[in-house]
Amino acid sequence: MLSKYFTVNKDGGSHEIVIQKSRFIGTIKRVESEEEAQSFIQEIKKKYHDATHNCSAYIIGEHDQIQKANDDGEPSGTAGVPMLEVLKKQNLKDTAVVVTRYFGGIKLGAGGLIRAYGSSTSEALKAVGIIKRQLMKGFSVTVDYTLLGKLENELRNSEYILETINYLENVSFVVYVEDGQEQIFQDWMIDLTSGQATIESIEDKYIEIEVESTKE
């Protein structure tokens, strides 16, 4: 499993731009298989069945094993490939995009089409949002209710991810910690609670963090 990777917001979405009177609607979705990607593409083609073109691209797999681009009737190499290149440049995984074009009567030429489909993909990505999925170590920290307020406040103001609080006989905090920070976290919990916390490792998990850019 990758320690981290970038993809798009799981809710997906779309964004429209107009270039030389042609409408370009970029629709983005997170996909985890080629079947899912193809299903998404067909869904968008059905939705915009009256469009001039529904061009598509997707990149799937831990090592980007599956990469496909389709020009859907535009001149070869002017739509799907530029769209795929935007996904690759942003280091995205498990992402599919369809750019729908309603022709506005003005021809753009090969260079214009490449820029238009690339821009539509980029703008749709900005609108939908890019997510960093970070594999983090999980801990359950159980304490007496007398420590609830103190521990919750400290965790919420820390760099660690407080996912849930379970109110049972005692109170348990489910916390996720970056790889390599496990011992520091446990020592901190012991110090904060004067050794009164029960700390247990739980299953590692991908935590999703919205980011402005994939460049770190």
Q: Tell me if 166 is assigned to some domain.
A: yes
Going by pLDDT thresholds of 50, 70 and 90, the confidence category of residue 188 is very high
pLDDT of residue 130: 95
Judge whether residue 215 has pLDDT over 70. no
Residues 98 and 160 both lie in one domain: no
Residues 18 and 34 both lie in one domain: yes
Residues 28 and 67 both lie in one domain: yes
The helix (run of H) or strand (run of E) holding residue 116 is helix 109-128
pLDDT of residue 69: 98
Residues 70 and 144 both lie in one domain: no
Total domains present in the chain: 2
Q: What percent of the chain has pLDDT over 90?
A: 93
Q: Tell me if 91 is assigned to some domain.
A: yes
Judge whether residue 136 has pLDDT over 80. yes
Residues 197 and 164 both lie in one domain: yes
Nearest Cα to 86, choosing from 34, 121, 126, 38? 121
Judge whether residue 200 has pLDDT over 70. yes
Domain boundary among 128, 158, 183: 128
Judge whether residue 101 has pLDDT over 90. yes
Q: CA torsion angle for 48, 49, 52, 57 (degrees, to 10)?
A: 60
Judge whether residue 151 has pLDDT over 70. yes
Q: What percent of the chain has pLDDT over 70?
A: 99
Judge whether residue 213 has pLDDT over 70. no
Domain of 136, CATH number, reads 3.30.70.240
pLDDT of residue 216: 55
**Structure token digits, residue 210:** 């919205």
Domain of 60, CATH number, reads 3.30.230.30
Residues 88 and 117 both lie in one domain: yes
Angstrom distance (rounded) from CA 101 to CA 1: 37
Domain boundary among 87, 108, 128: 128
Q: Tell me if 216 is assigned to some domain.
A: no
Residues 23 and 71 both lie in one domain: yes
Going by pLDDT thresholds of 50, 70 and 90, the confidence category of residue 2 is confident
Residue 119 burial (10 A CB sphere; 0-12, 13-18, 19+) = middle
Residues 111 and 160 both lie in one domain: no
Average pLDDT over residues 40-58: 98
Q: Tell me if 41 is assigned to some domain.
A: yes
Domain of residue 8: give its range. 4-128
Domain boundary among 85, 113, 128: 128
Q: Give this prediction's pTM.
A: 0.84
17-36 tens-digit pLDDT: 999 999 999 999 999 999 99
Residues 118 and 165 both lie in one domain: no
Average pLDDT over residues 101-124: 96
Residues 143 and 106 both lie in one domain: no
Q: Tell me if 180 is assigned to some domain.
A: yes
Residues 80 and 112 both lie in one domain: yes
Average pLDDT over residues 120-145: 95
pLDDT of residue 209: 87
Q: Tell me if 17 is assigned to some domain.
A: yes
| 38-42, 71-75, 205-209: least confidently modelled range | 205-209
Residues 56 and 86 both lie in one domain: yes
Judge whether residue 172 has pLDDT over 70. yes
